A = this chain, B = another copy of it.
Amino acid sequence: MNKPLITPRTLKGFRDYLPSAMIPREQLIETAKSVYRSYGFSPIDTPALEYTEVLTGKGGEESDKQMFRFEQGNRDVAMRFDLTVPFARFSAQNINELGTPFKRYHVGTVWRGENPQKGRYREFVQCDFDTIGTKSNAADIETLFIIHDLMLKIGFTDFKIRINNRMILNGLLQLHNLESQSAAVLRALDKLAKSSPEAVIQEMQEQGGLTQQQAEQILALMTAQGTTAEILDSLESQLKGNERGTQGVLNLRELFTAVERAGIPAERVVLDTSIARGLDYYTGTIYETFLDQMPGIGSVCSGGRYDNLAELFTTQELPGVGASLGLDRLLAAMQELNLLSEVSTPAPILVTQMDAAFTPEYLRLGRDLRQAGLNVEVYPDTKAIKKQFKYANRHGFKIVIVAGSDEFENQLWQVKDMQAGTQTAVKEEELLDVIQKILA
């Protein structure tokens, strides 16, 4: 070749996943899918590219600006920047065939041309599940169950799912004839974590046109303290006479009853009237999930109920509820908490090759062990055994199997337990037992 070499590099904000990063990632995605499936959610997929008009105007000006958008054969097309807008388009297009209620999960890559920062990329995977076509609170409760069971299955026991219901705040605004100020009030309340109560009250007055008393009352409701029962009783009396707010309290009561009936530890599900989840989009139950050991990384699984998924595309009303697992955030937390194993192979067993004359035997053994349900790699070359052990160490194999002409003559396999450092010679009929003991 006389051509100059092309520099191998990835685009800014994009990344390769090497095995050590991809193995836990794939496991996490598979865990999420298995939990979604266990609740009867079905997988779907949609194209990476959509007509630009399908994607614009829903996510707000910022997402519009961040879209990877281009001309393709006279069509104005763009890469999806989330899975919600494509799901809205998908539902409007296919709901008659699908029927309601419709429960789907969608794991897919999305692209945003935002400025890359630490931990933020232009390409990332979203992991959403939603139930649409029903207003039933049972779907809201199930969404909570799913988040809970998902966290458990991933390996966490110390976490809190914070729950609120937008109907409460909206009911209170309605009681005060302040419904049209909802967006400004939400914006102000979203600053609660970072600003003083006084500043939030002031913003509600200045931006929302509330009186000081109204602003104080809303803030009091959003920062209610006490047991779940106490808070619910207090909310109920404050919202007396308002249908929406009262329904919100009822739905929360039913949710906490269901949590108790299901035997989910009470400390994992917390009523937190202060969470608002910025987006005006949510209209009912809302969810945020925090790790007890790392609250600072923010919510790792969030979502909520909305009134109408696909109003940009169809007149058919599609209310729904769902949530999204924060894959990157969760993986970063698991790494920090040493919950990820440090292996770069999906197989715990390496069969080495000492003598090229026996290649078919090494390969045969590997295959027989696989048929017993084990993941087994056969080293492809008959390099120095030291090199093959170095390879085993580098990748984190737990067991290395060795045999040279002596072993073949005596019909033995040498089995090395890499962690214990011990080696045993065993007949093939005992091999599976020995391996299973080491792996146990």
Contacts from A to B (Cβ < 8 Å): 1, 3, 5-11, 14-19, 22-23, 25-26, 30, 33, 37-51, 53-54, 57, 68, 70-73, 75, 77, 79, 89-90, 92-94, 97-99, 101, 103-104, 109, 111, 113, 123, 131, 134, 136-139, 141-142, 145, 149, 254, 257-258, 260-263, 310-315, 344-347, 350, 353, 359-364, 366-367, 370, 374-382, 391, 394
19 additional A-B residue pairs with CB within 8 Å, beyond A17-B45, A262-B360: A5-B312, A6-B313, A7-B313, A8-B310, A9-B93, A15-B47, A16-B45, A16-B94, A18-B44, A19-B44, A40-B345, A40-B346, A40-B350, A42-B346, A48-B79, A101-B381, A131-B380, A134-B381, A141-B359
User: Which among A40, A92, A260 has the greatest number of chain B C-beta atoms within 10 A?
Assistant: A40
Do residues B262 and A363 form an inter-chain contact, with CB atoms below 8 A?
yes
Question: Please, which residue of chain B has its CB at the minimum distance from the CB of A41?
Answer: B346
Provide the bound-state CA to CA distance between A312 and B138, in Å: 57
Provide the bound-state CA to CA distance between A131 and B47, in Å: 30
Tell me the dominant secondary structure on chain A's binding face: mixed
Do residues B5 and A90 form an inter-chain contact, with CB atoms below 8 A?
no
Provide the bound-state CA to CA distance between A7 and B364, in Å: 57
The distance from the CB of A46 to the nearest CB of chain B, in whole angstroms, is 5
Provide the bound-state CA to CA distance between A103 and B94, in Å: 40
In-complex Cβ contact of A51 among B11, B19, B51 (8 A): B11
Do residues B22 and A45 form an inter-chain contact, with CB atoms below 8 A?
yes
Provide the bound-state CA to CA distance between A360 and B9, in Å: 54
Given contacts A142-B378, A380-B138, contact A48 B123 (CB under 8 A): yes
In-complex Cβ contact of A364 among B261, B353, B382 (8 A): B261
Do residues A138 and B40 form an inter-chain contact, with CB atoms below 8 A?
no
In-complex Cβ contact of A360 among B46, B109, B254 (8 A): B254
Provide the bound-state CA to CA distance between A137 and B216, in Å: 77
The distance from the CB of A351 to the nearest CB of chain B, in whole angstroms, is 9
Question: Please, which residue of chain B has its CB at the minimum distance from the CB of A369?
Answer: B38
- Write out the residue numbers on chain B whose beta carbons fall within 8 Å of the beta carbon of A314: 5, 8
Do residues A113 and B72 form an inter-chain contact, with CB atoms below 8 A?
yes
Do residues B47 and A123 form an inter-chain contact, with CB atoms below 8 A?
yes
Provide the bound-state CA to CA distance between A378 and B366, in Å: 43
The distance from the CB of A148 to the nearest CB of chain B, in whole angstroms, is 9
